[in-house]
Amino acid sequence: MRLTVFKSKLHRVRVTEADLNYEGSVTIDSDLMDAAQILPWEQVNVLNVNNGERFDTYAIRGPRGTGVICLNGPAARLAHVGDLVIILTYAQMEREELLRHTPIVVHVDENNRIQTSSSGANRGAKG
């Protein structure tokens, strides 16, 4: 049986732009995508800390080193520039893979610059 599990997250990144007229997705600084091992076109879940909105979209690469987090298309209506969001990814794994898996958590400063990027303890994954 394959299970859907938490793969990685960008924790409390700040929305820097919102572009209602773009086709859709969330543009993420390439440095942040690499740190969280998010691939272009990968599905992400976005949680808005400020208003409680949660939505799914896909990631596209933004310019490296800019700290950009831009909500595009309809997602632009679900957050304001300056809102804090958590961007989550998930993966499908077999139980045995999950027991060895450690999610990646990327913490940033107020300008979306990476402060820490770590794999958390494998809590709760007992045989």
Out of 58, 90, 117, 119, the active site residue is 58
Catalytic status, residue 25: yes
Q: Is 22 a catalytic residue?
A: no
- Residue whose tokens read 């979306």: 112
Q: Which of 8, 25, 30, 117 is catalytic?
A: 25
The CA-atom distances, in angstroms, between 45 and each of 65, 90, 96, 125 are: 22, 9, 25, 23
Q: What's the CA dihedral at 6, 63, 22, 44 to 10 degrees?
A: 0
- Which residue numbers are catalytic? 25, 58
